[in-house]
Amino acid sequence: MVKFSIFLQRELRLLARQKADWLNPVLFFIIVLTLFPLGVGPEPNMLRIMAPGIVWIAALLSVLLAAERLFKDDYRNGVIEQLVAAQQALMPFVLAKITANWLSTGLPLLLLSPLVALLLNMQGASLEAMALTLLLGTPVLSLLSVLGAGITVSADKGGILLALVILPLYIPLLIFASAAIEAASIGLGFTGQIAILLAMFLFSLALVPMAVCSALKINVS
C-alpha cells in the first residue's frame, strides 16, 4: 500500500509535469466529437441517434492514444527491467499506472459529459445514462488499454498493435454502453446494461493487473 501510494504519486507528478498528457486526450476527445457531425452531416435528429456510439468511440480512441506511451519510457530507460529483477514492487507499480491512467483520461471524459451532451443535442435521461456508462466503462477502458500497453511494450511497433489487441476486448463494452444510452434516450430503463458494465468492471479489475505483470515479465526476458 505504501509502495502503491508512492508510485501513484510519481505518476501524478509525471502528469503534472507533462500537462499535455491529460490535456491532450481531452482535447482529442472534443476534436473527434466535432469531426463526426462534420463528416456525417449536421441534422440534429440524426445526431441524437448516433450520439451514444460516437461518444463511446471517441472515448475509446482517446484512451487508446494515451495508453500507447504508458510503459514506453519506463521500458526504454530500463526501469521495468530492473523492477522485474527486483520482483516485489511490480504489482503496485502496475496498479499505480492503471489508476493514474484513469485519473488522467477517464475522469476528464466523465467531467466533460455535460458539454458533450450539449454538443450532440442529448437530453435528461440520456445524459444521465451516458454519465453512468462513462463512470463504469472508463475504468474498464483504462484497464484494457494498460493491458494492451503491457503486452506490446517491447513490440517493434507499439501504437497500432496495441489498438488491435484492445479493440476486440473493447467491443462488448461499446455494445452495452451504447445500448444503455440508447435505451435511456427512448425512455426505457437501462439497469440491465449498467449491471453488465459493473460486472465487466469487477471482472477486469480482478484479472487485468496480474495479466499485465506477467506480460511485463515476458517482455523483458
Interface residues toward another protein, by CB under 8 A:
2-3, 6-7, 10, 13-14, 17-20, 23-24, 27, 31, 34, 37-38, 41-42, 44, 73-74, 76-79, 81-89, 93, 118-119, 121, 147, 151-152, 154-157, 161, 164-165, 167-169, 171-172, 175, 207, 211, 214-215, 218-221
Partner whose footprint covers residue 3, from another protein, a second copy, none (CB < 5 to 8 Å by kind): another protein
User: Segment contacting a second copy (CB under 8 A): 87-95, 111-119, 121-129, 157-165?
Assistant: 157-165
User: Segment contacting a second copy (CB under 8 A): 29-37, 115-123, 127-135, 198-206?
Assistant: 29-37
Partner whose footprint covers residue 147, from another protein, a second copy, none (CB < 5 to 8 Å by kind): another protein
Radius of gyration over every alpha carbon of the chain, rounded to an integer in angstroms: 18
Q: Of 141, 142, 143, 132, whose CA–CA distance to 194 is shortest? A: 132
CA distance linking residue 216 with residue 7, whole number of Å: 17
Asked whether 219 and 150 are in contact (CB, 8 A), the reply is yes
Partner whose footprint covers residue 159, from a second copy, another protein, none (CB < 5 to 8 Å by kind): a second copy
Q: Which residues bind a second copy (CB under 8 A)?
A: 18, 20-21, 24-25, 27-28, 31-32, 35-36, 38-41, 46, 49-50, 52-54, 56-57, 60-62, 65-66, 68-69, 155-161, 163-164, 167-168, 171, 174-175, 178, 182
